Structure 1
């Protein structure tokens, strides 16, 4: 298994605890939650069941969503060796069947029960959560050899119904794991494990397109360049990821169209928007539901919230950071029938070159810990933000990333994705000096600015290159 060392260690410690354990694992869809549990407990599961996707429920004929979920649960019990009985009429009966089945199988050894995509089972007016609460509180928590693991891509459901539950499941979880996308280093290890040969320059671009999502990265094929792979994944007829965007939101959120409208709004501006601006641009009321929707997108790793440098909480911005969504909105959604070799034929187009620049800024934002390590400040408290002046202010005042440090330094970071050493020319040098001057007006007395370049292959020495105090290369982003 690539990465996930800490998660595997924790799961094994819980397995060997000698106590009843109730663990929730959550994270963005396709991030590898099922694989983590299946590999860690291969051959050790007493019962494994996955809820039916709401997409399949909508598309399949016959019966209500509740009846379909109950029938599927009953079939899973049969497949695991339960004697044939009758399909339960409700979730209370279904969990009673599970209890009786586990008691019959109990030989004193640890029993692992894995309920995958738990939120999908909680269909409208199903009584699922009440029944699950009864299963754990009345029976499961008293069985020292029982370990119940639940997973879900609907992160908000997991957080609201289990982690932050204020009812019968309050404080019942014994542990929780948020599974995050792979870092660049883990992406490289994953790609190499598939015996796909790509230079780090192209692995960074693969991350720009697919993020650290194993399900997407596994579509990379040996013997093909990154450009050929991108065409095969997105642009050829029946490409495997061409419909992924719609399915991603339909499977995670109960209001997918509304969520996509927020994502598509945020996709129009790299620095993001305030909540009020999102409301104005989408037509969604700025009341409580928009706040809940934004928090749900943050919990699922699609969006981050940050305070623009020098601003307060009232000016908080929401920024799209999911690479897959950013790429899909730019090049796939609404483009109709593109040529099957679109990416290969347009590698040097200005559109793709410009996209790489913005996408690399996002890569850096998602690898702040690696940047801090390269700067030698891993142990220093910091906050990260973007900063730009309004449209009616001086040109050239947007700063890619600002790292404000507790040791009285502010790193003004410029991100540049180039196929060779980056060259600072006279015009760009003038722009940098202007930005530094404007930033100096904003920082607190007693703090200094360290100009920092984050680029692929380093900085070419010339009369303007000494502007940068620190130069961080692509290699550092793969460091941990």
Structure 2
């Protein structure tokens, strides 16, 4: 699959490289979840210029340095003895080469030094401070473990705090890019195909590339490919989250599984965990790990107790909803049965994802100052009868866009939406013009 999107990031990386080669060394940090395309983007930005690429695997430091010395010798046509067993010595030699040479230095999975030799960060800080003004190296480090990368560079107590010239956090592809990719590879795609690609990948480039390479353009083909023996998708959630959570992942997994199954309020989540206190865990999942998002009714106060949580990563939402929930199917090898469960449930499940799709599509329009949903709770049999899928407040005029999201238009009840509109108008938008719509797959 060709290289898509990332124009702004590419431009920023190229400008930084030119500054490093022209003036003095520059330090860029790139973060983003696994499979987001960090390495591909960095290598694209460094095309046609001398580049040293070092991948930090969790290994013995001396073994790692031996491998690095060979990479450096080949990339720069210099001599670094393979007897060097300290990364600090390797890094100082590279910085020394930067006095007379201009090159990119990429250190991938930079956070792994934390497990190999944490002193490396102090040593890099010392060497960088001494050499950066008199050298011409475009240093780019990247990492998939967000909490560690954030700690290394954003914690004032850490040695590399304040040393970076720019930090780039990569996000998934937008819905506009998903359409472009499908148009290139399957021009006859349907909106249902687009929704399936969004539902299962959430715009993560590696997942998209895998489906495209295998010509899995429809929901059944995608499901069959993911749910087969030896599929990397079956373990992908574990690989992603154990990296972040470490050994204490049990409670986090239980919370995410509860949210994925629809138990998304604090009382519901607490009940799932045997009434254990979950406030601190939820806060860490939201602010430290950025795996979940707290949702409040639009324009509600920060302190409101009317809060719901959702998993912010589409793939993880899918993985917990099916792979974790039906782990016995996976363990017994009854993968065909699991695939059938997913296909049968897909119309309901993708309906929830369709709401997220339209919210993202509205964000891309750059017309709204606030986009969310709205609901009000009430006791009795009519609990939460006033719930609106999408409420978007225009930025430049007193106008609100309110939409109900349905997979099929035949399920839309205009009179019910109008009742909800009158309820929200009386509470929040009595001086606003209100525009209403039913958004379906046809509108994607």
Indicate the TM-score class for this superposition, using the shorter chain for normalisation: 0.7 to 0.9
Report the equivalent of 2:108. 116
Q: Which runs of 5+ in 2 are unaligned?
A: 74-78
Looking at structure 1, the residues matched to 102 and 188 of structure 2 have their Cα atoms a distance apart, in angstroms, of 42
Q: 1:22 aligns with which of 17, 20, 27?
A: 27
Q: 2:283 aligns with which of 276, 291, 315?
A: 291
Looking at structure 2, the residues matched to 149 and 448 of structure 1 have their Cα atoms a distance apart, in angstroms, of 49
Write out per-residue CA displacement over residues 46-75 of structure 1, whole angstroms, 9 at most, x where no aligned residue.
4211222xxxx5xxxxxxxxx624522431
Q: CA deviation at 1:15?
A: 0.8
Q: Is the 8 A contact 1:401 1:414 kept in 2?
A: yes
Report the equivalent of 2:302. 313
Query: TM-score of the superposition, structure 1-length normalised?
Result: 0.78
2:330 counterpart of 1:328? no
Q: Which runs of 5+ in 1 are unaligned?
A: 58-66, 458-472, 475-480
Cα–Cα, structure 1 residues 379 and 410, in superposed 2: closer, same or farther, change >3 Å? closer
Report the equivalent of 2:12. 10
2:372 counterpart of 1:384? yes
Looking at structure 2, the residues matched to 346 and 290 of structure 1 have their Cα atoms a distance apart, in angstroms, of 28
Report the equivalent of 2:76. none
Report the equivalent of 2:123. 131
Runs (4 or more) in structure 1 with deviation over 6 Å come to: none
Looking at structure 1, the residues matched to 336 and 13 of structure 2 have their Cα atoms a distance apart, in angstroms, of 44
Looking at structure 2, the residues matched to 181 and 354 of structure 1 have their Cα atoms a distance apart, in angstroms, of 24
Listed as ranges, the matches of 1:244-393 within 5 Å are: 244-254=236-246, 255-269=248-262, 272-274=264-266, 278=269, 281-282=272-273, 285-286=277-278, 290-298=282-290, 302-315=291-304, 317-335=308-326, 336=329, 337-340=333-336, 343=339, 347=343, 349=344, 351-370=345-364, 373=365, 378-390=366-378, 392=380
Looking at structure 2, the residues matched to 23 and 225 of structure 1 have their Cα atoms a distance apart, in angstroms, of 36
Cα–Cα, structure 1 residues 77 and 439, in superposed 2: closer, same or farther, change >3 Å? same
Q: What's the C-alpha RMSD, in Å, of the aligned pairs?
A: 3.0
Cα–Cα, structure 1 residues 231 and 403, in superposed 2: closer, same or farther, change >3 Å? closer
Q: CA deviation at 1:357?
A: 0.9
Cα–Cα, structure 1 residues 14 and 222, in superposed 2: closer, same or farther, change >3 Å? same
Q: Is the 8 A contact 1:24 1:173 kept in 2?
A: yes
Listed as ranges, the matches of 1:47-446 within 5 Å are: 47-52=52-57, 57=58, 68-81=60-73, 82-88=79-85, 93-103=86-96, 105-106=97-98, 108-123=100-115, 126-139=118-131, 141-192=132-183, 198-220=189-211, 221=213, 224-254=216-246, 255-269=248-262, 272-274=264-266, 278=269, 281-282=272-273, 285-286=277-278, 290-298=282-290, 302-315=291-304, 317-335=308-326, 336=329, 337-340=333-336, 343=339, 347=343, 349=344, 351-370=345-364, 373=365, 378-390=366-378, 392=380, 394-395=382-383, 396-406=385-395, 407-418=397-408, 422-423=409-410, 428-446=413-431
Looking at structure 2, the residues matched to 265 and 177 of structure 1 have their Cα atoms a distance apart, in angstroms, of 32
The secondary structure found in structure 1 opposite 2:167 is strand
Larger mean Cα displacement after TM superposition, 129-138 or 217-226: 217-226
Write out per-residue CA displacement over residues 236-276 of structure 1, whole angstroms, 9 at most, x where no aligned residue.
22223111111111233434444333322321338x435x7
Query: TM-score of the superposition, structure 2-length normalised?
Result: 0.84
